Chain A
Amino acid sequence: MEVQLAKSYIVNASKRMRTVIELKIKDAKAIGKMAIVAILVVVIVIAGVASYYFYSTQTPPLKDTLIMGTTDSVESCLDPARAYDFFGFEITQSLGSPLVEYKAGATGSAADIIPALATDWQTSSDGLTWTFNLRQGVMYNSSREFIADDVKYTFERGIGIADPDGAWVGVGIGDIIDSVTVVSKYVVKFQLKIPFAAFLSLMAFQACYIVDPQYAPKAGSSWSVNDVVLYTEGDARASNPMGLGPYNLKSWTRVAGKDTEMTLEANPLYWNAGAGYPKTKTIVISFYADSPGLAMAITAGDVDVAFRQLSTNDITTMKTNTDLKVWEGTGAFIQYLCMQEKYAPFDNPTIRGAVAAAINRTTIVQTVFQGQAQKLYSMIPIGMFGHSDAFQAFGDPNYTLTRELLALSGFNENNKLSFTLWYETSGHYPQSAQQALVLKDSLEASGVISVTLEGRDWAAYRTARQEEIMQAYIMGWYPDYIDPDDYIFPFVESNGGSWIHHNYANPEMDKLIAWARGNTTDSARNSLYAQIQTLMVQDCPIIPLYQGGAFAVSRTNVDGIYLDITQNWRHWLVFARQ
Chain B
Amino acid sequence: MTLRTYIVSRILLTIPMIFILLTTVFLIMRVLPGDPVLLHFEKMEDPALIAAMRVRLGLDKPLLMQYFDYLFGLFRGDLGKSMQDYSSIGQQIFAAFPATLELAIFSMLIAILIGIFLGVESSKAYNSPKDHLIRVFGIVTYAIPVFFLGMILQMIFGIGLHWLPVGGRTYQNMVPTGLNVGPVHFSTGLYTVDSILEGNILKLGTALKYLFLPSLTLGLVLCGIFIRLTRSNMFETLRLDFVTAAKARGLKDSTVTYGYALRNAFLPVLTMMGLQFALLLGGAVLTETTFSWPGLGRYLVDRINFRDYTAIQGVVVVFGLFVALVSLAIDLLYAYLDPRIRL
Q: Interface residues, chain A, CB within 8 Å of chain B?
A: 67, 75-76, 164-165, 169-170, 172, 251, 253, 255-258, 260-261, 263, 284, 286-290, 292-293, 296-297, 299-302, 426, 456-460, 462-464, 466, 490, 498-499
Contacts and interface: CB of A to CB of B under 8 A. Distances in A.
Contacts of A67: 172
Given A257-B82, A260-B168, 12 more contacts: A67-B172, A164-B53, A165-B40, A169-B44, A170-B43, A263-B172, A288-B168, A290-B290, A296-B159, A300-B166, A457-B34, A499-B44
21 contacts: A75-B85, A165-B40, A255-B99, A257-B92, A258-B299, A286-B167, A288-B292, A289-B167, A290-B292, A293-B166, A296-B151, A296-B155, A301-B162, A459-B36, A460-B32, A462-B35, A462-B38, A463-B33, A464-B33, A466-B45, A499-B43
Contact of A296 (B35, B85, B92, B158): B158
Contacts of A292: 151, 290
Contacts of B292: 287-290, 293
B312 to A, nearest CB: 12
Interface of B: 32-36, 38-46, 49, 52-53, 82, 84-85, 87, 92-93, 95-96, 99, 151, 154-155, 158-159, 162, 165-169, 172-173, 175, 288-294, 296, 298-299, 302, 305-307
A288 B289 CA distance: 8
A257 B85 contact: yes
For the residues of B in contact with A, the DSSP-based class is loop
A76 B35 contact: no
Contacts of B305: 426, 457-459
A299 to B, nearest CB: 5
Contact of B95 (A165, A256, A459, A460): A256
A481 to B, nearest CB: 13
Given A289-B288, A459-B33, A463-B34, A260 B294 contact: yes
A76 B83 CA distance: 12
A296 B154 contact: yes
A255 B155 contact: no
B192 to A, nearest CB: 17
A256 B155 CA distance: 28
Contacts of B32: 460
A257 to B, nearest CB: 6
A256 B35 contact: no
Given A256-B96, A256-B299, A459-B33, A300 B87 contact: no
A490 B154 CA distance: 44
A118 to B, nearest CB: 28
A346 B81 CA distance: 42
Contacts of B293: 289
A283 to B, nearest CB: 11
Contacts of A498: 45
A290 B166 contact: no
B35 to A, nearest CB: 5
Select the residue from A170, A257, A260, A459 with max chain B CB neighbours within 10 A.
Answer: A257
Contacts of B159: 296, 299-300
B36 to A, nearest CB: 8
Nearest to B52: A164
Given A293-B291, A499-B45, A466 B172 contact: no
A288 B167 contact: yes
Given A284-B172, A296-B159, A302 B34 contact: no
A253 B166 contact: no
A499 B299 CA distance: 29
Given A256-B296, A260-B294, A296-B167, A164 B41 contact: yes
Nearest to A75: B85
B306 A459 contact: yes
A458 B95 CA distance: 27
Contacts of A261: 172
A96 to B, nearest CB: 21
A257 B299 contact: yes
A530 B267 CA distance: 78
A322 to B, nearest CB: 14
Contact of A293 (B35, B52, B92, B167): B167
Contacts of B294: 255-256, 258, 260
B167 A302 contact: yes
Nearest to B168: A286
Contacts of B33: 456, 459-460, 463-464
Contacts of A288: 167-168, 292
Given A300-B159, A426-B305, A255 B95 contact: yes
